Structure formats: C-alpha cells, structure tokens
C-alpha cells in the first residue's frame, strides 16, 4: 500500500489544482460572453457591407480594376497565424500552428514571411528559418479596431507595394463553446468577398459621387472589417476552447480525487488492521507467559 502521507499530499495537490481550473473556467466563461457579444454584433455589419460591395461590383459592366484583387505570379507569400497569448486552451493553438506548418510545406519553394498575431504563434516561429514580422503579435493585449487595423493596413499596403503576392490568414472560426474550426483563408488578392448571406439579391444603387470612388472607399473598409472579424472570431474561439478545457480538467481532477481517496482509505484501513493484529499478538504473547 502507498504511504498515507504521500497519498494525503497528492490529494491536497489535486484539490488545489481543481480549485484553479474551476476559477479559470469561470474567468473564461465571463470573457467568452463579452467576446461572443462582439462577434455576434460584428457579423451582421460585416455581411451587409460585403453584400453591398459584391452587388455593386457584380452590377457593373465588365470587371472593375480593384488594386486589391490584382492577381500576379506568386513568389512571395505572407502567412498570418492567429493564436492566443496564453495556453491552457486545449488544441486551440496547436491546430493553428499545424495548419500554418502545412502551408509552409506547401509553399516551401517560395519566399514566405510570417506575421504572427498572438504570442504563441510568435514563440513558435521566431526561431524558424522564415522571416517573422514581429510588430503586431501583441494585438490581443488590446482587441480594438484601431489596434487590429494597423496589422490589416500593413498587410494591405505590403500587397499593393508588391512586397507580397498572396496573404493567407490561419485562424479558429467560432462555432460554439465546444467547437472551433481551423480556417486558412486567402485575404489577398481578394476575389468576391466571402459573405454568409448567399441569398442576397442584386440591387440597383444610386452611387454618388461616382461608382469608382465608392468602390475605392468600400473595398479597403470591407477588407479591414473582414480582418477585424477574423481576430474577433479567434478571440471568442480562444475563450470557448479554454472554458471547455478547464471544464474537462476539473472533471478529470474530480475522478482522480475519487481514486486517491479510495486509495487513502484502503491504506488507512490496512494500517489500522496491522496495528490491531500487533496488539492482539502482543496480548497473546503475554497470556502465554
């Protein structure tokens, strides 16, 4: 049987761990509600803006010369993996890193740069062979449009200046508390912007001052909104993943406590039985004399 003192120490250790995981679950749940509210409010605006842009573009005669949609031979690629700053959120970060490494293998013959968003992505790639743009990896210290907009503007300006021929964002899309889907979306060159409102009907618009001016203003705005929406999706996914992981860790700690307490009781009973046997044996020895 295990030593009673050792088992008692393990029980106390597991109880302390369980208290920590419970607290982390509650904190993650509170943060998730706020993050979920943000992404829920952002999605309708993003979908409506995207739908308007797609309708305006589709209603024109011929193709519009949009600088962000220019396709050229791909020799330089920018990958934007979006992770969290902290761990203890299950496979949330490892799934993004795995998908990013798969893209690195796919573009092994090209000049690939990495612009990590989140400390976990930065730590994973900063010592690698690829050039890492370390300007924006602390974006989750302040998840605001102004802060995220700087990263989006850098990617867009780099594409326009032909520093990169393709920009791909790798992130977790928020489905629900227990489900996050890893996505690798082409940010630039843009095609028809993705919109969940697939049933949108083409509408005739009166465009002032001109159609070209409207598109020049709408396209960058829509791209930045898409980029911000991606960061909000990842932020909500992180808290959902952490809440689920901490809930599972708390359950596992409870199961381990049951086993340890059973072991402790058995060891204690065995010790008591041995003491009784020793007392009886001593008494019998005295009687025999």
Residue-wise pLDDT tens digits, 54-113: 776 665 544 456 788 888 999 999 999 999 999 999 999 999 999 999 999 999 999 999
Would the pLDDT of 186 be above 50? yes
CA atoms of 183 and 124, how far apart (whole Å)? 19
**For 25-244, which CATH superfamily applies?**
ATP synthase, F1 complex, gamma subunit (3.40.1380.10)
Asked whether the beta carbons of 80 and 117 are under 8 A apart, the reply is yes
CA proximity to 156, closest of 72, 75, 69: 69
Residue-wise pLDDT tens digits, 214-267: 778 888 988 999 999 999 999 999 999 999 999 999 999 999 999 999 988 888
CA proximity to 120, closest of 147, 97, 101: 97
Residue 154, token pair as written in the block: 């850098």
**Alpha-helical segments (H) within 59-107:** 92-106
> 264 in helix, strand or coil?
helix
Would the pLDDT of 205 be above 80? no
Residue 139, token pair as written in the block: 């974006």
Q: Is the dihedral of CA 44, 45, 49, 50 positive or negative?
A: negative
89 is catalytic: yes
What does 164-189 look like in DSSP terms, one character per residue? -SEEEEEEEEEEETTEEEEEEEEEES
Catalytic option among 14, 35, 56, 89:
89
Q: How sure is the predictor about 4, in pLDDT bands with cuts at 50, 70 and 90?
A: confident
188 strand-pairing partners: 167
For the chain, domain boundaries: 25-244
CA atoms of 231 and 86, how far apart (whole Å)? 15
Asked whether the beta carbons of 202 and 83 are under 8 A apart, the reply is no
């Amino acid at each position: 049987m295990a030593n009673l003192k050792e088992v008692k120490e393990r029980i106390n250790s597991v109880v302390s761990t369980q208290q920590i995981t419970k607290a982390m679950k509650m904190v993650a749940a509170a943060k998730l509600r706020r993050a979920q509210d943000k992404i829920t409010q952002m999605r309708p605006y993003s979908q409506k803006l995207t739908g308007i842009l797609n309708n305006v573009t589709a209603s024109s005669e011929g193709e519009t010369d949009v600088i962000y949609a220019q396709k050229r031979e791909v020799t330089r690629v920018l990958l934007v993996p979006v992770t969290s700053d902290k761990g203890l959120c299950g496979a949330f970060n490892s799934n993004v890193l795995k998908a990013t490494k798969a893209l690195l293998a796919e573009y092994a013959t090209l000049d690939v740069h990495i612009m990590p968003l989140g400390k976990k992505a930065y730590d994973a790639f900063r010592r690698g062979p690829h050039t890492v743009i370390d300007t924006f990896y602390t974006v989750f210290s302040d998840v605001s449009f102004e802060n995220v907009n700087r990263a989006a503007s850098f990617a867009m300006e780099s594409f326009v200046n032909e520093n990169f021929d393709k920009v791909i964002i790798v992130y977790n899309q928020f489905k629900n508390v227990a489900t996050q889907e890893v996505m690798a979306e082409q940010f630039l060159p843009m095609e028809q912007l993705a919109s969940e409102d697939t049933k949108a009907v083409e509408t005739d618009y009166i465009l002032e001052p001109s159609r070209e001016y409207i598109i020049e203003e709408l396209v960058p705005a829509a791209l930045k909104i898409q980029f911000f929406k991606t960061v909000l999706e990842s932020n909500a996914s992180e808290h959902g993943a952490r809440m689920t992981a901490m809930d599972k860790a708390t359950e596992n700690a409870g199961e381990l406590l049951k086993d340890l307490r059973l072991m402790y009781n058995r060891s204690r009973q065995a010790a008591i039985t041995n003491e009784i046997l020793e007392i009886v044996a001593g008494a019998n020895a005295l009687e025999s004399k």
